[in-house]
Amino acid sequence: MTAIGRMRSLGVAWCCLVCLPIHAAAQDLAQPQLVREVLAGTRDEARVSWWGFDAEDSTRFLQDAIQSKARKLIIDRQATPWITRPLTGVSNQEIILEEGVELVAKKGDFRAKGDCLLSFRGCENVTIRGEKKGSAKPARIRMHKKDYQSDAYEKSEWRHGLVFLGCRRVLVRDLAIEETGGDGIYLGAGPNKNPNLDVVIRRVDCNRNHRQGISVISAENLLIEDCLLRNTQGTAPESGVDFEPNNPYDLLVNCIMRNCVAENNAGRGYEICPQSMNSGSKPVSIHLDKCVSRKNKLHGIHLCSAQKDPPGGLLRITHFLSEEDGMAGLSVQFNPYDAIRIEMEDTVIRDSAQEDSFFAPIYVQGIESDDRPTGNLHFKRVTIKDDKDRPFFKINDRKGNGLRDITGEIVLERGGRKETIKMETWLSGG
């Protein structure tokens, strides 16, 4: 062969090597020997790419890797997102999304009304987290909300991002969950009516979801911390977070939100709605601490109880800020004076209901099912900053049942002046 011929031959071979790797590399990611070691129990940490990667649909690799029950499973970064159909999680596993990884719902799929991206049923010792370094963007779980809202899909509010049903010892952190067809995170009861126990959700950004940032149906010992719940829009309630049991046996016990921001949601910032509970339910205990509600279209905080046979318990609100919410900073609906106790301390309500003449910064709607008074509100170091000429506290009591057990002081700042109002005296007309 001539020198020119040899050069041409090498050129063709080199060209082939350059052109092949896009597909060959995807196949080369698979590591069958390492997979066998994981399945044999001799290796407890694994990378999903050992099973394989397909830029169009990696469901089989993701699900097989999860089912391997590797104690630590890393969804490793590829040139394109990990595309998947619905996945089911297992117990005793930590799933880590490497920095920059996107776990994305497959376009055109998720046809069933309850198809969720990743679901855990009756699992324990579960962690799903992003690997975040410095100011880098968090790992993402992303769906296609606009598709599900179109006529091509049957209408649904249950195409959630992450679902936990009756799970124990759960940690979710350092993730963005976006564009779901339901909630970013859903915490529901298990098949045996079991609540979720010992759940921590930390540094999660729930953005542009269809129904809620987070829905809490049944949970005991829940901490939601340093989370951002924003831009929910699609179907009611459209709130940042919604504590809303489905049945009397569901639990809202020792649920704490700390350092969270709910903003620009089409519904409320923080919604607490135990209408489906009753006096036989375990008392509610929810604490909102150092949280912010900002520019939500409806109320900053909204509690709606069951009128006829409400649950008892405590909603504690401390170091809270409501600013520029579309309706009331605090709204209380149908809560009898002997039902849930509401304590608000060290709180500022600023410029709420600026364009809605019906609501005031604090709004209470009376009982309409019987003759019990509403109430059980207690204020301590609460400041309302409001320059509109209107009542700072509005009562809608169409049945004339009145108010009872409303105590404490509110500082009203208006027109550069401060006025301290003792609620007992103000309500009595003094």
Question: For the segment 105-143, what is each residue's pLDDT rounded down to a tens digit?
Answer: 999 999 999 999 999 999 999 999 999 777 777 899 999
Q: What percent of the chain has pLDDT over 90?
A: 88
Amino acid letter, 91: S
pTM summary value: 0.93
Query: CA 417 to CA 402: how far, in whole Å?
Result: 30
Confidence band of 254 (pLDDT split at 50, 70, 90): very high
Query: CA 423 to CA 392: how far, in whole Å?
Result: 11
Query: CA 201 to CA 260: how far, in whole Å?
Result: 11
Give, in order, the Cα–Cα distances in Å from 132 to each of 73, 178, 224, 329, 332: 16, 17, 18, 34, 39
3-class secondary structure, 177: strand
Domain boundaries, the chain: 87-427
3-class secondary structure, 311: coil
pLDDT tops 90 at residue 188: yes
| Strands (E) located in 98-217 | 102-105, 118-121, 124-130, 139-142, 162-165, 168-178, 183-188, 196-207, 212-216
- Those residues whose C-beta lies under 8 Å from the C-beta of residue 162, and which sit 6 or more positions away, are 116, 117, 118, 119, 120, 128, 141, 172, 177, 184, 185, 186
Write down the pLDDT at residue 15: 36
β 330-333/374-385 pair status:
unpaired
Q: Are 211 and 184 in contact (CB under 8 A)?
A: no
- Cα of 176 vs its chain's centroid, Å: 11
3-class secondary structure, 37: helix
- Among 2.60.40.420, 2.102.10.10, 2.160.20.10, 1.10.3720.10, what is the CATH number of 87-427? 2.160.20.10
Which residue is associated with the tokens 């999660």? Answer: 204
Write down the pLDDT at residue 196: 98
Q: Are 126 and 169 in contact (CB under 8 A)?
A: yes
Write down the pLDDT at residue 28: 67
Confidence band of 26 (pLDDT split at 50, 70, 90): very low
Q: Are 94 and 123 in contact (CB under 8 A)?
A: no
pLDDT tops 70 at residue 65: yes
Q: Are 43 and 16 in contact (CB under 8 A)?
A: no
Write down the pLDDT at residue 4: 38
Give, in order, the Cα–Cα distances in Å from 82 to each of 41, 62, 174: 26, 9, 18
SS3 per-residue string spanning 207-276: ECCCCEEEEECCEEEEEEECCEEECCCCCCCCEEEEECCCCCCCCEEEEEEECCEEECCCCCCEEECCCC
Which two structure tokens, joined as six digits, stand for 271? 């919604």
Q: Phi then psi for 38, rounded to 5 degrees?
A: -65, -45
Query: CA 249 to CA 243: how far, in whole Å?
Result: 14
Amino acid letter, 111: R
Write down the pLDDT at residue 136: 73
| Strands (E) located in 10-69 | 45-47
Sheet of 239-243: strand order equals 87-88, 118-121, 162-165, 183-188, 212-216, 239-243, 270-272, 301-304, 330-333, 362-365, 393-396
Query: CA 376 to CA 296: how far, in whole Å?
Result: 25
Write down the pLDDT at residue 430: 59
Question: For the segment 362-407, what is each residue's pLDDT rounded down to a tens digit?
Answer: 999 999 888 899 999 999 999 999 999 999 999 999 999 999 999 9
Question: For the segment 215-252, what is each residue's pLDDT rounded down to a tens digit?
Answer: 999 999 999 999 999 999 999 999 999 999 999 999 99
